[in-house]
A and B are shown apart, each in its own frame.
Chain A
Amino acid sequence: MNIYRYLAAALLGMAANVSIAQTPKGNVLIKNATVLTVTQGTLENTDVLVQDGTIKKIGTNLSAGKDMESIDASGMFLMPGIIDAHSHLALDVVNEATAPITAEVKMSDVINPFDVGIYRALAGGTTVAHGLHGSANAIGGESIVMKFRYGTSDPADIVMKEAPRTIKFALGENPTRVHGRGKNIQPRTRMGVEAVIRNGFNEALQYQKSWKEYNENKGKKNSTLTPPQFNLRLETLSDILNGELIIHCHSYRADEIYMLINVCKDFGVDKLVFTHVNEGFKVAPELAEYTMGASVFSDWWAYKFEVYYSTAYNAAILMANNVVTSINSDSDELIRHLYHEAGKTQRYGGLTDDQALSLITINPAKQLGIDEFVGSIEEGKQADLVLFNTHPLSVYAVPQMTFVDGVKYFDIKNDDDDQRLKVSPSELVEPVYLHAEHERCMHGVELFMEEGQLFNHAF
């Protein structure tokens, strides 16, 4: 993977966005904490000074600026804000399950900043989440990286503007069931999924060519070329071919993982992350060599046939093979305690503290292309921080305060019973969906299916 090209793209992306309104940035001094930097070891009795949303200084005996809140964190543990590489939280719609490729849809269009799940995630130390399209389609929509700036009514405020574009792909049972069995169209098999993706890329190449030709001749004297049709789906696919998007691919089996690696190789696409990846341990060297990593569950499997061959050692094996590995939630509930999920890798695989913490901080940041901004406690990085009562990998760990850009959005001492941002003027009791969090990945799909009962499983 060409990191420099990618960094350049990220920087260019930033430059294009300077005109966008400012989100809140805070100033705070956290004193005498045990600082788990993740990338630069653990620092005892250390102060972290945050100015204008950025970590200004890490050291001892730092003093707070004027009017700056100073927090005595003696006996407490400070870690980087937790990053979830796979979530469907705070999205009004998850699946546009009507076509095998829907690369034209954008999750940024359906962000719901009023979702109380944002606050719950903050209460579990999660500050950044990757909001993905569901797994109904071989190629789903463009995803969105969100910073949980709770309290805003403007969806644009919780978008992490520095993050590069990402897109959801999905292999295996979900797309074949929805489209093949559900609607009798391609893909009906794993071979069909590959064909759908290859056809999509090939169409995008032709599309690029026709527009290039048109644009080069536009305005030239005597040109008889007329504008080609505009196709947002192929626009996005050709942007993938141009390296402007990172693919995050829902996958379980080793054969299909290797299949997509080959497809991407054939089309010169190198920004690729696999998510779920339950059989990733079988192709760990290939994942290490060719991809930006794997985002796995800690110990969740057997909820459908393609997810039986699994192990809780997956993360540890991948890490041992130098795969950039993260642990994700794919759930509005698990997102509230990803530190427990990371801790399981110490029981299954004996990862060190820093390795385990990297699964939910710097590694997902790398997979989302935002590791220069977040994912560790380093001077110059954005001040997304969580203060724990004890070491976050302890089963007794409880987040005490959560900061995004130096602004405190959660404080356990200041935690109201009712943190909803929006209340219905006429519903006396708002409906609560007990199982909603377990069906996010296929959320909304049953609406389109006659055999709806087939979809009562997770992910």
Chain B
Amino acid sequence: MLEIRFHGRGGQGAKTASQLLAVAFLDAGRYPQAFPEYGPERSGAPMMAYTRIDEQPIRLHAAIIAPDVVVVLDPALIREQNVTEGLDSQGLLIVNTGRSDPTISLSDVEGSVLMVPADEIAQKAGAKHANTVMVGVLAALLGEPSVDQLVTAVDEVMALLPESARDHNRKSVQAGYTYGVSALRVLDDTREERRVQSGLQSSSAAVAVEGTPFARPGAMIRPDDYPVPLTGGWRMGKKPAVHLDRCVNCLLCWQFCPDGAVIIQGNMFLGFDYDFCKGCEICDAVCPTQAVHMVSETTKVGAWGELKEVPTS
């Protein structure tokens, strides 16, 4: 049995990827099972999707806890979720490096790691999301299903999308497959070169101890129950930052912020409250002087988001 876990956010196509792979594997003569695991049902929330493949019909209806392969569609999730959980020395981890630093790596993975600039590949193919690229890469690394079977599966799973979107996804699945074939040559070498970038270690969320009573009666969450961000894993890998030299103190960001995450004192702008910021980018959009910029979560900023250098963009 082959077990695959996809990590993504609502809207990035992890569920579609898991089903696409299932459809293509059925075409290849294997029995598939694909299922999503939702947290809160909303766009941007971290979620997982799974694909199980076997030579016999699959009767198991349990979560995949020891996957053979993990596919990460959004590198920012590595901070929020323990993406390598259950992955052993034979395991395979495929990470979309996204727009962030392509040297991201993980120290605690025993198996093989492949970093894929999947956003870039998808963009070249015209596709919106990296999910189909990652499926192409994965199929190449597994030796099946074939690229033709994947392309047919795109047509079936995305039947309700416009033909142009299907075309872009067919191209991105093919481009992913080609990338995967070439990556087979270098995959083993990457094991030695891994290094940890500070702040990127995986963390596991607080969970109640099995079978023991909760400290408080009833269903409630108090501020001290969870580590930051206090409101959960909302941000999609980018946070607002500010160059104070450019700020004219118009307070438009404060006025428009839906979460009260802009800190002011009197009438003075001070910065951002990362505990409550959900990364909606409205502050960036309304700032008339481009003082606010969305930057990668890993960018070093002051406590309240002050940028040391003015970005060139």
Partners in one complex: no
